[in-house]
Structure formats: C-alpha cells, structure tokens
Amino acid sequence: MRLLMIGDIVGRPGRRAVKVNLGELKREFDLQFIIANGENAAGGKGITRDVAQELFAAGVDILTTGNHVWNKREAIDYLARETRIIRPGNYPPGTPGAGAIVYKTGRNVQVAVLNLAGRTFMQALDCPFRKADQLIKQVKEQAKVIVVDFHAEATSEKIAMGWYLAGRVAAVCGTHTHVQTADERILPGGTAYITDLGMTGPCDSVIGAKKEIAMERFITQLPTRYEVAAGLFQFNGIVIDIDEETGEATAIRRIQNYE
Ligand SMILES: [Fe+2]
Ligand SMILES: [Fe+2]
C-alpha cells in the first residue's frame, strides 16, 4: 500500500495547499491512505470541528496533532467524540481523545496510526518511548501496518525514537518544527524514517507566522500577537510504500510542492 503523511497544516493557506495538491497527488501516486498533522490548522494554532471537517472533505483520512492541540477550547469536547483525530498518547491518563487509532482503508487494509510528543524543550509529558511500547501492544493484534507521528522539537529525540521503533513499525515521521529535513531513509527492519515532514502553509513566513511579527519578537523580546502569514503556500509531506503482508516500508519519498 501507499500512504501520504502531510506536515503541519498551518491556517487557511495550509488548508488551501491541501485542497490544491491532494487530488493530483492521489492520482499520481495512487494513494490509499492520507494522514495529516492538524495541530496548526485553525488560525495557526489548534483545531476546530469546522476546520477538521474541511480537511476530511478534502481527502484527509486521519488527523494527528501535537502541543497546540488544545489551543482552541472546543477541541477538548470535540476530540472526545471525533475518532478520526488523535492527540499525543503520552498526555496524562484521563485526557480527552486517544493517542492511537486503527483505520480500515478503502482497500481493506487495517492501519494503526500513533501520535506521541517529545519532551526535550517541550511540555513535561509521560515518557513517549514507554508509551510507544504500550500503544504498539494495544494495536498490533488489529493492524500489521503501524505508522507513528512523533511530534517533537529536538532532532536527537526524534532520531532516537526512529531507532527505538525500527523493525517494529512501518514509519516514524517527525512533526512540529515546520521545517522539512532531508534525512528520509528506511531503517533496518523496514521502518521509514524522517526527522521532520515540514509544513504545509505560507512559505514567506517564519514557520507559518507573519515574518514581520516574528522578527519583532526576536528583536524586542516583547510578547507579540501571533498571526498566520498570507501569500504563496508550500505543501510538505512524504509518500511511503508499505508491504501490507509484513508491515514493512519499502520506499520513502519526500514531497515539497510550491504554489
Ligand atoms: Fe506545528
Ligand atoms: Fe507543535
């Protein structure tokens, strides 16, 4: 099977990039499953029901998230009901929503998607490595194909997670930095790995934010109001080929499209 994972979708420009690119990518690559990180999809921070519906209608099957998942308060109730959106599984027990989902594709392949968040330079959540073990145990009876979105800041923590899960999952894809890395590879045991998928959002920006505001913040060290940049967009993600009998990845290819 072949699937696409889309890097953090930022605001309206990001959603537009998904709508403009997805149809052609689906045809070109014969994609059977589409996962996207939606933590910045609503106004640059957070996710809402309307925005998620818009992305599902555009062809996204499952949305993963990250540290910005709760920025829009309605997400707290919404994630408790909407199973197609997951949040990092290493939030404290009792947090609304789930950290994993098993999804049946149109061609009847069961795929498990896991979401975890890093702890280096981020919130102090539970250990993502131990949580990964738990979630894999939870889904592996139901799905041979397991894909992980590891939402983390430090490249070292992400690479460590890649090695930790090598041979146990089909893919470990980093998200959160909004900058696509060029280190995609297949780790021993058939695990597709990339440190960061990148961003689907406005290109003339500072990781999605209006560049003037971001510069002012660095220069003055004063708090500034966040605003999503306008203008041209980019679409970042990866396409992975997976042998559905063994659950191993056989190919990984980066996608970097510009308007
Ligand atoms: Fe993000
Ligand atoms: Fe993030």
Domain containing residue 105: CATH number: 3.60.21.10
Q: What is the domain extent for residue 68?
A: 2-258
- Residue 176 Cα to ligand 2 middle (Å): 4
Tally of structural domains, the chain: 1
- Residue 157 Cα to ligand 1 middle (Å): 17
68 is catalytic: yes
The DSSP string of 12-40 is HHHHHHHHHHHHHHHHHHT--EEEEE-TT
Query: Of 189, 90, 97, which is closest to residue 130 (Cα–Cα)?
Result: 90
Ligand number nearest to the C-alpha of 37? 1
Q: Find the angle CA(47)-CA(50)-CA(56) to the nearest 5 degrees.
A: 85
DSSP SS3 for 203: coil
Residues with CB under 5 A from ligand 2 (ion): 66-67, 176
- Residue 152 Cα to ligand 1 middle (Å): 9
- Residue 125 Cα to ligand 2 middle (Å): 14
Going residue by residue through the chain, which has 259 residues, state the pLDDT in tens, using 9 for 90 and above: 999 999 999 999 999 999 999 999 999 999 999 999 999 999 999 999 999 999 999 999 999 999 999 999 999 999 999 999 999 999 999 999 999 999 999 999 999 999 999 999 999 999 999 999 999 999 999 999 999 999 999 999 999 999 999 999 999 999 999 999 999 999 999 999 999 999 999 999 999 999 999 999 999 999 999 999 999 999 999 999 999 999 999 999 999 999 8
- Residue 153 Cα to ligand 2 middle (Å): 8
Q: Which residue among the candidates 68, 151, 176, 178 is catalytic per the annotation?
A: 68
Ligand number nearest to the C-alpha of 200? 1
CB atoms within 10 A of CB 250: 14
